[in-house]
């Protein structure tokens, strides 16, 4: 499932993109996060997204949200949180070009979400969908995640992956942008 912030990207020059995992990268990972009042940005996360924007890259979020399949929250809760994140970023002059999430899980308790999905990381479906919808220069793009499944999804999509293990996200991203 996806939420586009700007789908007018057709017919533009190819630009690199950064595919951020959400929980553990942009925000502190608290299991099955969907409540705004429990959301905590990772140190330097907003500044990292702004640096990506300022460098001319697309900024995307690709996040597994099995809490939907597990019955912990609804898809509307995911949309509300992502809309709130977008508004908080906008206050600082930053933006996410599209939020992608996968609500499916093969062991979900909600039947309509109980399935294997090519969109669920480590599968590359969310990334491939974004590559197809936006004029992304894949050769200069990469994934930033905190789990091996993020790296596996990156490689399956033909992108490089960078494992974020905490600290300041802006400090982590800045040298990666300079290398491109």
The full set of domains in the chain, from first to last, is: 2-179 (3.40.50.1000)
pLDDT over 50 (residue 152): yes
pLDDT over 70 (residue 2): no
**Among 6, 21, 77, 146, which one carries the catalytic annotation?**
21
CB 145 within 8 A of CB 23: no
Q: Which tokens go with 24?
A: 């553990």
The predicted model gives 170-174 an average pLDDT of 97
Parallel, antiparallel or unpaired: strands 98-102 and 58-64: parallel
CA 78, CA 46: separation in Å to the nearest integer? 19
Is 23 one of the catalytic residues?
yes
pLDDT over 50 (residue 68): yes
pLDDT computed for residue 66 by the predictor: 96
**Among 6, 23, 43, 137, which one carries the catalytic annotation?**
23
CA atoms within 13 A on the CB side of 158: 7
**Could you tell me the strand order of the sheet in which 160-163 lies?**
2-4, 98-102, 58-64, 17-20, 142-145, 160-163
CA 178, CA 180: separation in Å to the nearest integer? 5
pLDDT computed for residue 60 by the predictor: 98
pLDDT over 60 (residue 8): no
pLDDT computed for residue 31 by the predictor: 86
Q: Give the confidence band of 6 by pLDDT, cuts at 50, 70, 90.
A: very low
pLDDT computed for residue 7 by the predictor: 44
Is 171 one of the catalytic residues?
no
CA 164, CA 153: separation in Å to the nearest integer? 15
pLDDT over 70 (residue 162): yes
């Amino acid at each position: 499932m996806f939420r586009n912030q700007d789908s007018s990207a057709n017919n533009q020059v190819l630009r690199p993109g950064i595919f951020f995992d959400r929980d553990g990268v942009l925000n502190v990972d608290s299991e099955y996060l969907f409540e705004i009042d429990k959301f905590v940005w990772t140190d330097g996360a907003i500044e990292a997204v702004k640096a990506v924007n300022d460098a001319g890259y697309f900024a995307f979020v690709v996040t597994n949200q099995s809490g939907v399949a597990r019955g912990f929250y609804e898809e509307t809760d995911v949309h509300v949180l992502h809309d709130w994140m977008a508004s908080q970023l906008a206050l600082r002059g930053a933006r996410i070009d599209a939020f992608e999430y996968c609500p499916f899980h093969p062991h979900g308790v909600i039947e309509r979400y109980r399935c294997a999905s090519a969109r669920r990381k480590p599968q590359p479906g969310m990334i491939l969908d974004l590559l197809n919808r936006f004029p992304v220069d894949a050769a200069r793009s990469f994934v930033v995640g905190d789990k091996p499944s993020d790296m596996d999804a990156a490689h399956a999509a033909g992108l490089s992956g960078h494992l974020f293990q905490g600290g300041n996200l802006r400090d982590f991203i800045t040298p990666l942008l300079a290398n491109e």
